[in-house]
Chains A and B, each alone.
Chain A
Amino acid sequence: MELDNLSRRLIERFQHGMPLCPEPYRAMAEALDCTEADVLDRLARLQAEGALSRVGPVFEHRRAGASTLVALSVPEARLEQVAARISQFPEVNHNYRREHRYNLWFVLTGPDRAHLSRVLDEIEAETGLMPLDLPMHTAYRIDLGFPLETLR
């Protein structure tokens, strides 16, 4: 999608942080010298086009609960069906097909590790496939958003 100038400035300025106040979109508009209606319009448009997932906090998963990266090696003929079933779990986000023998990769999040273990057991029982359970051990770099200079 093509980003207009205001959308790009919004992303550059506010993907790493935004004002915490009763009228955050008005505060963002003041910072960018436009109207609150312009900000809301651009955010709604970015969301409708799929570029904006949401506005608000990204939870620090070690503080917020438990998470793990999971991989499945799914026979090609069953891949679409298994992927659709996996996506139905509310605990699943970022479910991707990747080019590898382990061809389905997703992140599980939940309130605690015991909850994730139950979901992993359920996935194994339902699909007959043994999940690779790869929880984070150490983070050397966490995702802080897009490199702004390449958004042009």
Chain B
Amino acid sequence: MNTEQHLELRRLLEQGLPLVPRPYRLLAERLGCAEDEVLAQVGEWQAEGLFRRVGLVLRHHALGYRANAMLVLDIPDAEVDDVGRRLGQAPGVNLCYRRPRRPPQWRYNLFCMIHGREREQVRQRIAALLGEQGLAHHPHALLFSIRAYKQCGGRYAPAAERRHG
């Protein structure tokens, strides 16, 4: 496979595997190469850690997880790694990232995502979590999502290559 085929394969994988009995053969036909070349390349990328996981990618809202909260906290820089590691291990926390502050507009440096079926349940779980972790005194805010305008996977492959496909 050449470089252009590699990029094109990545672009196709970003859109998901076709739901047909031989999905890699279908991708290979589109790329103009052999099925085993595609499988070997995907296996290589997997071994190199290009993928976080390979499997079914779900949308929480359609599965009944309608309450999606982003908890943001302003934690002193000296403590944020410790707090981040603790929150990241707490049950129910799906994501926990440190991000930069942007003063004066934005003071918060720690971001957690928490999903649940109902808003009140999520609110209570977060209140309990902040209590247990001794974090309630740090400035924080809870941003519930009201609407998803777009929900899809990342598109990393360069757009110019995509147009050629």
Which residues does A use to contact B, with CB under 8 Å?
A: 1, 3, 10-11, 14-18, 20-26, 36, 40, 43-44, 46-47, 49-61, 63-65, 67, 69, 71, 83-84, 86-87, 90-100, 102, 105-107, 109-111, 115, 130, 132-147, 151
Contact = CB atoms under 8 A, between A and B. Distances in A.
A57 B16 CA distance: 7
A95 B150 contact: yes
Main secondary structure of the interface of A (DSSP, over half): mixed
Nearest 8 CB-CB pairings of A with B: A54-B16, A141-B88, A140-B88, A109-B154, A65-B156, A140-B84, A57-B51, A95-B150
Contacts of A86: 149-150
A52 B58 CA distance: 4
Contact of A98 (B109, B144, B155, B159): B144
Given A53-B57, A90-B159, A22 B35 contact: yes
Nearest to A37: B21
Interface residues of B, number: 81
Contact of A11 (B46, B52, B58, B145): B58
Contacts of A17: 53-55
B165 to A, nearest CB: 13
Contact of B16 (A55, A65, A92): A55
Contact of A144 (B45, B53, B59, B145): B53
B141 A52 contact: no
B118 interface: no
Question: Of A61, A64, A95, A140, which is in contact with the most chain B CB atoms at under 10 Å from its CB?
Answer: A140
B79 to A, nearest CB: 13
B63 A151 contact: yes
